[in-house]
Amino acid sequence: MSQTMTTSPQHDLPFAGRVAIVTGAASGIGLATVELLHAQGARIVAVGRGDNVKALARDSIVPLVADVAQEASAARAVDTALSEFGQLDILVNNAVSSSTALGRDEP
């Protein structure tokens, strides 16, 4: 008797249906994180301080030139995720900064 194994897209793409913001996305660990999350199905707002982040643009990656050390830029990253994808599930705060603008927890 033959068994057929079926796999769901969720198993193949563990981040399918998820939306992430990745800061420091233009190079190094941030870029590798964007590539990994994208390959595993996530939609991403890729944030970087320089125009080189724009090279990441594709159907499910929205590049955003912003400095998340500035509170207004951090808010813009969240607003971009919500306006482009309708939700936000994951934050990879990889940008090097001493600011807490993106990681602030307020009631």
pLDDT of 95: 87
pLDDT at 100 over 90: no
Q: With respect to residue 100, please indicate whether it lies within any of the assigned structural domains.
A: no
Q: With respect to residue 19, please indicate whether it lies within any of the assigned structural domains.
A: yes
Q: Which residues of 34-43 are buried (b: 16+ CB within 10 A; e: fewer)?
A: bbebbeebbb
Q: With respect to residue 27, please indicate whether it lies within any of the assigned structural domains.
A: yes
pLDDT of 35: 97
Residue 26 zone, left/alpha/beta (φ > 0; ψ -120 to 50; rest):
alpha
Structural domain that includes position 35: 15-92
Q: With respect to residue 66, please indicate whether it lies within any of the assigned structural domains.
A: yes
Q: Give the total number of structural domains in the chain.
A: 1
pLDDT of 103: 62
Structure tokens at 96: 């090097």
Per the listing, tokens 């301080």 go with 49
Average pLDDT over residues 44-72: 96
Structure tokens at 71: 């509170």
